[in-house]
């Protein structure tokens, strides 16, 4: 059995970075930029008003109120072509270009319109309520560097930068293979001892959420024929994740089937709970992560191993973030396996976090994994701990 840190290092060493592809801007949400994005325009392109009001020359407001002749109007998209001279003003609206000659804007609320003139009741300095050219950004500014994960803010900014196409990292293609004679899929007719397969759908959703593409190969039966046929379908993927059939029972055939198919084994069994019968290797250029069948083991391994692997393939920081929290209850001493205990997380009045591991930690209890806010990390051979002690947690 190797340590979790060794297992992770081996897995990450097997992650190959994916290449780039071009997509339309509208498809960019959640994708990772492969190249720096530089603005192709300045924003705003010309000085514009930040308010509805009057564009004028600040120097005309030495004596108040000041009566100015209104000589035209500038609306967003329909600028005033004339020049605002001394003693003159132009009606202006938010986002409209500041007319030549004007150097400030007075808000409508501080004015009184009187036919063809306007009475200005407040003085403003030059530049007031004027957004200068390039206030937001200028042509050539690199605003979104390579490696940015594009969220709504970034997509909006790219649009404002006049970027219709994006070079992004290709989504890693991850094949998911569930195994087991007992597995039926939701909606299937159920035999007497069958259970519903949660690992495939759960893993696929997790993988999609991490910015990769999940390819569900289906459920292999506990036979070499079925396994051999389905393993072959993973050729060309960036990673194959199997679930189940990883332990030492008579029907745990996944490792043998993969070995026969040409797997070069990296490791088998990791000192972690859940997730001990974990396997990693290389199948003719496709990294293979063999997870145990227990649904909680699968989800914990997804968080701790599959996520970093996907992030490494996308060129993103792969280290799992941990936080400090106080224990909400006493815990016994730990054994040789690093424990990831499902726990509730609450914030105390003083702002500190308290993590309370559930009393049932069975790796078959998926509802507990879903109820959990975090995993409490217990290192191998950690001594008994009392409530209030500081522990490391991984938020879910
Ligand atoms: N003698 C030993 N027995 C076991 C050991 C051991 O060290 N010695 N390790 C235990 C641990 S820890 C784990 S974890 C399990 C892992 O076993 P397998 O990977 O072989 O998993 P299976 O036996 O195929 O399944 C375990 C459990 O999970 C259910 N399962 C499987 N696939 C799915 C699925 N797609 N969706 C939902 N549930 C699934 C399956 O029905 C079993 O109940 O081994 C222990 N035994
Ligand atoms: O390692 Mo198993 O995943 O403890 O249940």
pLDDT tens profile 257-285: 999 999 999 999 999 999 999 999 999 99
pLDDT at 264: 96
Q: How many angstroms separate the Cα of 206 from the Cα of each of 176, 186, 196?
A: 11, 18, 18
Let me know whether 197 and 301 are in one domain: yes
What are the pocket residues of ligand 2 if the criterion is a CB atom closer than 6 Å to any ligand atom?
A: 273-276, 292, 294, 297, 363
Let me know whether 276 and 298 are in one domain: yes
Spans in the chain with pLDDT lower than 50 = none
Last residue within a domain, chosen from 169, 197, 218: 169
- Residue 273 CA to residue 301 CA, distance in Å, equals 10
Q: For residue 369, is it within any domain?
A: yes
* SS3 assignment, position 203: helix
Q: Is the peptide bond before 74 cis (omega within 30 degrees of 0)?
A: no
Let me know whether 365 and 391 are in one domain: yes
pLDDT at 251: 82
Strands 130-131 and 183-184: unpaired
Q: How far is the CA of 381 from the centre of ligand 1 (A)?
A: 24
Q: How far is the CA of 127 from the centre of ligand 2 (A)?
A: 66
Nearest atom in ligand 1 to 200's CA: 35
Let me know whether 272 and 159 are in one domain: no
Let me know whether 28 and 110 are in one domain: no
- Residue 293 CA to residue 149 CA, distance in Å, equals 32
Whether the CB of 178 sits within 6 Å of ligand 1: yes
Whether the CB of 246 sits within 6 Å of ligand 1: yes
Q: What is the number of the ligand closest to the CA of 338? A: 2
Let me know whether 350 and 302 are in one domain: no
Q: How far is the CA of 262 from the centre of ligand 1 (A)?
A: 24
Residue nearest to atom 12 of ligand 1 (CA): 276
For ligand 1, mutation pick of 184, 203, 294, 296 (most atoms within 8 Å of CB): 294
Q: How many domains does the chain fold into? A: 4
Domain range for residue 360?
323-395
pLDDT at 368: 97
- Residue 6 CA to residue 261 CA, distance in Å, equals 25
Let me know whether 302 and 329 are in one domain: no
Nearest atom in ligand 2 to 292's CA: 3
Instruction: State both tokens at 288.
Output: 């293979």
* SS3 assignment, position 392: strand
pLDDT at 250: 86
Let me know whether 291 and 333 are in one domain: no
Let me know whether 308 and 192 are in one domain: yes
ipTM tops 0.90: yes
Strands 142-144 and 195-196: unpaired
DSSP 365-377: -HHHHHH-SEEEE
CATH assignment at residue 34: 3.90.105.10
Q: How far is the CA of 293 from the centre of ligand 1 (A)?
A: 4
CATH assignment at residue 258: 3.40.980.10
Residue nearest to atom 7 of ligand 1 (CA): 247
- Residue 142 CA to residue 38 CA, distance in Å, equals 4
């Amino acid at each position: 059995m190797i340590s979790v840190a060794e297992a992770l290092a081996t897995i990450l060493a097997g992650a190959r970075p994916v290449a780039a592809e071009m997509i339309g801007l509208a498809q960019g949400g959640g994708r990772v930029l492969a190249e720096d994005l530089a603005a192709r325009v300045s924003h705003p392109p010309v000085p514009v008003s930040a308010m509805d009001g009057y564009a004028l020359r600040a120097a005309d407001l030495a004596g108040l109120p000041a009566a100015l002749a209104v000589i035209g109007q500038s609306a967003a998209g329909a600028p005033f072509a004339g020049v605002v001279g001394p003693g003159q003003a132009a009606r202006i609206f938010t986002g409209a270009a500041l007319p030549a000659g004007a150097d400030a804007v007075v808000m409508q609320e501080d004015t009184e319109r009187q036919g063809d003139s306007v009475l200005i009741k407040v003085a403003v300095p030059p530049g007031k309520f004027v957004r200068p050219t390039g206030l937001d950004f200028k042509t050539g500014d690199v605003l979104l560097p390579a490696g940015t994960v594009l969220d709504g803010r970034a997509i909006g900014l790219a649009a404002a930068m006049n970027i219709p196409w994006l070079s992004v990292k290709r989504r890693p293609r991850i094949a998911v293979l569930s195994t087991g004679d007992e597995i039926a899929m939701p909606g299937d007719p159920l035999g007497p001892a069958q259970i519903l397969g949660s690992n495939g759908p759960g893993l696929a959703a997790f993988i999609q959420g991490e910015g990769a593409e999940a390819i569900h190969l289906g459920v292999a039966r506990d036979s070499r024929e079925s396994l051999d046929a389905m393993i072959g379908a993973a050729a060309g993927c960036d990673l194959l994740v199997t679930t189940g059939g990883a332990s030492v029972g008579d029907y745990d055939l996944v490792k043998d089937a993969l070995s026969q198919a040409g797997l070069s084994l990296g490791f088998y069994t990791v000192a972690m709970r859940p997730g001990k019968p974990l396997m990693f290797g290389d199948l003719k250029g496709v990294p293979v992560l063999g997870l145990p069948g227990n649904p909680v083991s699968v989800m914990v391994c997804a968080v701790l191993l599959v996520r970093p692997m996907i992030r490494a393939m996308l060129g993103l920081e792969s280290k799992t973030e941990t936080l400090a929290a106080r224990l909400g209850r006493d815990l016994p001493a730990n054994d040789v396996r690093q424990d990831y205990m499902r726990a509730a997380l609450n914030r105390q009045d003083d702002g500190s976090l308290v993590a309370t591991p559930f009393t049932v930690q069975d790796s078959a209890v998926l509802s507990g994994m879903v109820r959990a806010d975090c995993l409490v990390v217990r290192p191998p051979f950690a001594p008994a701990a009392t409530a209030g002690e500081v522990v490391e947690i991984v938020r879910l």
